[in-house]
Structure 1
């Protein structure tokens, strides 16, 4: 990425997020009154992701290889309470983290991350106490262009579960917590820039995720987002959660209600391998589970394959299983 394109991204991206929050009067308490695509859109976010209905993209028609994350270990950010969330913005004019691969076509430049409590997405009907959103914009686009394109933005969603205070549970949020006491009041000034390791905020296995096309979860809810919702949560401490949720964001919480799914949700190869049991039979059942989410005939073939496995063990002839 050239110096010019990097400057363009950072000069406009943080302003875009601030303008949306400051110019529009909206509240999480009156979501039915949100304007724009929030009312009229057909592919809105967040959604309840059902793991058994997610499509395993074994042909890589939608997920093209591994997700690539470059430059996330040393990122200079400033923090702010914008009245709706606690947000950490990338500092303009500095080298930006870039995401590519997976379901994405091209490079996406990191803009900011922010927090929602409770989580906005649900997985198999379960909500988490906190969800982190890492917002990226397609490199080379202006903000006006990005929000009008279905592939203009990409957002990583990371779930957080709470454990008692210890070194492990405090590791993920350790670098951002010093700024939180100064963010309780939305009228507080933006904090001084600080350097953090964004990889701490990512799932333990960033290659294990669900992905779908959807929208921003705040007005104007433009349907310009490729969502990458990681399926393995990070751990945070109860003390950290209590401190974060003291922040004045206009109410007790700051999450949008679940929206109709009405579209395909894909799952990565790693998300399938994560359910594999230690035994060989368990592995076969796990593979069948992933294949059956893609094709209705997968279960029958899986049963056939497992039967053949048993037949081979006892020296019997195997059956011909239908091709997927």
Structure 2
């Protein structure tokens, strides 16, 4: 298993990087389609010709880009209200769709008053779950986008939430419009986090593939949701809008090697997802570079 970072903060606290306030515009991106920012289109990818070092504008020149390399020795414990979860125990029938650059799981917000949501934890409001997706690598166990004390995990889950008073499009133009829960996946004896999803990966191998499945969002959360890294950053795909509150849990969820292998069979941009390499490492911002084979 990946060693856990050495934390000294008390339960109920978060580790936070300094915040900022900034308005952004769709003019920072080469696309005005908000779904493209979540990986459903556009002329970008993870190969040598269209990878992160070629992504335009904000992705390359932004000051608050994600993911980041987290050094826990440089973070400051901060007491905040407990992070709260609503409707996370409900079982939802959702849609999985291969959009080329990733597989997105959506449909939670179709019934707004029953959608899963989060609040507290330093967030300025209530956020509704919009979708979730995964990040992994093809050959090695270093698939997470965020790095903690120079350590990567095999998998990283992103649960993307939109502030309840905003549309999806508006959320990208407003500071704190988006809140993303980042959850690391590490090898262990249990497999509950991906148990309901893994059987459907085989139906979502190539672009355009779709599947329906039932899941309770709570199953993907770690046992300890009181300690997490919080910082203000961006989406990790074009247009890299700098309007995201990141909450990255310290404790990973347990996955099995078989579940990771099922993920690895998914083809991204027409080829199997290759190993993550790194480019554009500058200051505290880590841009991942995933080359195609």
TM-score, shorter chain, exceeding 0.5: yes
User: TM-score band (shorter)?
Assistant: 0.7 to 0.9
Matching of residue 83 in structure 1 with residue 100 in structure 2: yes
Distance 1:200 1:20, change over 3 A: closer
Deviation at 1:260?
4.2
Alignment size in residue pairs: 238
Deviation at 1:52?
1.3
Deviation at 1:23?
4.0
Matching of residue 109 in structure 1 with residue 125 in structure 2: no
Which whole-Å CA distance do the structure 1 matches of 2:232 and 2:37 have between them? 24
Deviation at 1:157?
0.3
Matching of residue 191 in structure 1 with residue 204 in structure 2: no
Contact 1:43 1:262 in 2 (8 A): no
Contact 2:108 2:116 in 1 (8 A): no
Deviation at 1:39?
1.6
Which whole-Å CA distance do the structure 1 matches of 2:169 and 2:95 have between them? 23
- The one of 239, 247, 250 equivalent to 1:220 is 239
Task: Choose 1 or 2 for highest CA Rg.
Answer: 1
- The one of 183, 199, 221 equivalent to 1:202 is 221
Which whole-Å CA distance do the structure 2 matches of 1:91 and 1:70 have between them? 12
Higher helix share: 1
Higher strand share: 2
Matching of residue 179 in structure 1 with residue 218 in structure 2: no
Unaligned residue ranges in structure 1 (runs of 5+): 1-14, 264-324
Contact 2:37 2:240 in 1 (8 A): no
Which 10-residue stretch deviates more, 153-162 or 249-258? 249-258
TM-score normalised by length of structure 2: 0.76
Unaligned residue ranges in structure 2 (runs of 5+): 1-32, 137-142, 286-293
> Which residue of 2 is the match for residue 240 of structure 1?
259
Matching of residue 27 in structure 1 with residue 45 in structure 2: yes
Deviation at 1:135?
0.1
Contact 2:127 2:164 in 1 (8 A): yes
Contact 1:47 1:260 in 2 (8 A): no
Contact 2:68 2:146 in 1 (8 A): yes
TM-score normalised by length of structure 1: 0.69
Higher relative contact order (CA 8 A, sep 6+): 2
1:42-84 per-residue CA deviation (whole Å, 9 max, x = no partner) reads 0100011111111111xx4xxx310011111123311111111
Deviation at 1:253?
3.7
Distance 1:92 1:103, change over 3 A: closer
Deviation at 1:195?
2.4
Report the 3-state secondary structure (helix = DSSP H, G, I; strand = E; otherwise coil) of the residue aligned with 1:172: helix
